[in-house]
Amino acid sequence: MANIAAAMADPSRVSMLCALMDGRAWTATELSTVAGIAPSTASAHLNKLLNGQLILCLAQGRHRYYRLAGREIASLLETLMGVSMKAVPRAKPTTPVHLRKARTCYDHLAGEVAVSLYDFMVEEGWFTSDNASLSVVGSARLDGLGAVISARSSRKPVCACLDWSERRPHLGGEAGAALLKAFTQHGWVERVPGYREVRFTDAGKRALRKHFRVDA
């Protein structure tokens, strides 16, 4: 735990990790820009994150890309964001409005819209009584949306992920990842290049009202 904490304990490295929360791979130059540091300095920070097993380096030809080491790292970061917000008494939300509305949390949706989706699912009985698995209703509704869950996955089918800006849960786990993938394939959401922000298209807004009674 101490080694992991030490690897994260720098504002520049935290900025890099937060950028990688969009689930995509970034170059060292892109990450240095996000962190506001020189590329040479970024290299040293990235090595510390690699040694701490928080990120992975992917080589493609002469280029190298960096991404989070896995979903569990993304979950850790999201939890730390929530804890850091709680550490300041009566802190006013400082998250940009567009990110509070809708963003990615590694491979699933987060933000105000995602929390509203989760509330709807709970109310409509999409989950079992312990909220740990999909109910028959939930499975059927996800199938109807084209959200396919792998039967071979060792990941939890449903996970209530605490949303750090809303302080309430949104849908994580295999179901959350499948739902974001379906939204993307249907053209309901568009990713903003280089950022965690996602925007709902006109078709997506109509779909949210139709299927979830949620206004995006």
In a domain, 80, yes or no: no
pLDDT at 107 over 60: yes
Same domain, 118 and 62: no
183 three-class SS: helix
Same domain, 101 and 200: yes
Same domain, 104 and 206: yes
In a domain, 90, yes or no: no
In a domain, 79, yes or no: no
CATH number, domain with residue 59: 1.10.10.10
Same domain, 144 and 196: yes
Same domain, 141 and 64: no
Which residue range forms the structural domain that includes residue 161? 97-212
Alpha-carbon distance of 176 to 118, in angstroms, equals: 10
In a domain, 88, yes or no: no
Same domain, 105 and 207: yes
Would you state the pLDDT for residue 208? 96
**Number of other residues whose CB lies within 10 A of the CB of residue 47:** 12
**Contact at 8 Å (CB) between 55 and 49?**
yes
In a domain, 84, yes or no: no
Structure-token pair, residue 126: 């999409």
Q: What is the pLDDT of residues 7-63, one digit of tens each?
A: 999 999 999 998 898 888 899 999 999 899 999 999 999 999 999 999 999 988 888
The dihedrals phi and psi of 119, each to the nearest 5 degrees, come to -60, -40
What's the domain count of the chain? Answer: 2
Same domain, 103 and 202: yes
pTM of this structure? 0.67
